[in-house]
Amino acid sequence: MIASSEPTFSIIVPVHNGGRRFRRCLLGLAALDSPPKEIIVVADGETDGTWRMAEDFGAQVLKIPSPVGPAGARNLGAHKAKGDILFFVDADVTIPRDAMSQMAAAFQGNPELAAIFGSYDDEPFETNFLSQYKNLLHHYVHQTANRDASTFWAACGAIRREVFQAMGGFDEGYRRPSIEDIELGYRLKRAGYRIGLLKALQVKHLKRWSLGSLLKADFFYRALPWTALILNEGQFIDDLNVKISNRISVIFIFLLLLALLGAWFIPQLVVFAMVVAMALLALNWDLYRFFYDKRGLRFALKTIPWHWFYFFYSGLAFFIGFVNYRMKRRRS
């Protein structure tokens, strides 16, 4: 299936009104140590002149009049691409200068791999707390995940073109930035393909997270559709955000909330709540120690309630998704 000669790469970047962050992305692509065969920018219904910026950097630009979402934009770029490897890059990341050589070495050294992806780095661009917390959490999840990956990540991910075509590309039913890359990864694994997590390949995320954008993305665009995907697949994978420790933490969070509510009527439940809270701390200690090592004690302490809040709304999303799944099954 796979040749041993040096592969050629097509970089594909979907963008919708990328602004100054997209310019940083283009600057990173222009500085690559090994130029790709082509850079294809898919302007997905943009209205801010992003496509002109891409043309000024020498990229091939494809324009979509009305937004179709990153899945459809990536598929269009892949259809036009000529490289052996399709290298997907998000418009709000900057990739390191040696990204191409890392990817090429990984594919040549592991001819059985169908796809490879990297992770965010540990120096997020935006300095506000939520941006630092969210991006460092993502970095930690990928850096502690299995190298023999269970899914795919399209912010910085590459896949052999013939494999991508055989799988039918991304599911264009995802009209917003969602889990279209995760869903493709599930199909790849189900078809018997191998996916590699290249932990040394780290990109800088430029996105600024706020409370509203974080909850909208995590709850509506990730947790709910990922729940549907898991239930349709019929299995949990002990990796990334759905590790066993995370699932146990979700259960502990709801036990903690029930104990605290019950303590109004049965004061002794406070002791049980304290035990559950200590168990939560112990279960996630390595992560909190990571936050401490990177940003100090104050930052680490501040992340704990946010992380527990993440477990709460993830569990809530799973419950809603499960009820919806069962109702659909009953109707059908």
* Helix residue ranges, H only, the chain: 19-30, 50-56, 70-80, 99-109, 129-143, 161-167, 180-190, 211-215, 224-233, 244-262, 269-283, 285-295, 297-331
Instruction: Calculate what percentage of the chain has a pLDDT beyond 90.
Output: 90
Q: What's the whole-model pTM score?
A: 0.93
- Indicate whether 4 pLDDT > 80: no
Q: Is the pLDDT of residue 126 over 90?
A: yes
Q: Which of 9, 196, 154 is nearest to 85 (CA)?
A: 9
Distance CA 209, CA 124 (A): 11
Region for residue 211 given its phi and psi (left: phi exceeds 0; alpha: psi -120 to 50; beta: otherwise): alpha
Question: Could you report the per-residue pLDDT of 139-189, keeping only the tens digit for each?
Answer: 999 999 999 999 999 999 999 999 999 999 999 999 999 999 999 999 999
Q: How confident is the model at residue 240 (pLDDT cuts 50, 70, 90)?
A: confident
What would the pLDDT profile of 244-281 be if each residue is shown by its tens digit? 999 999 999 999 999 999 999 999 999 999 999 999 99
Average pLDDT, the chain: 95
Q: Quick one: average pLDDT of 104-117?
A: 96
- pLDDT, position 329: 86
Alpha-carbon distance 248 to 327, whole Å?
25
> Residues 208-214: what's their mean pLDDT?
96
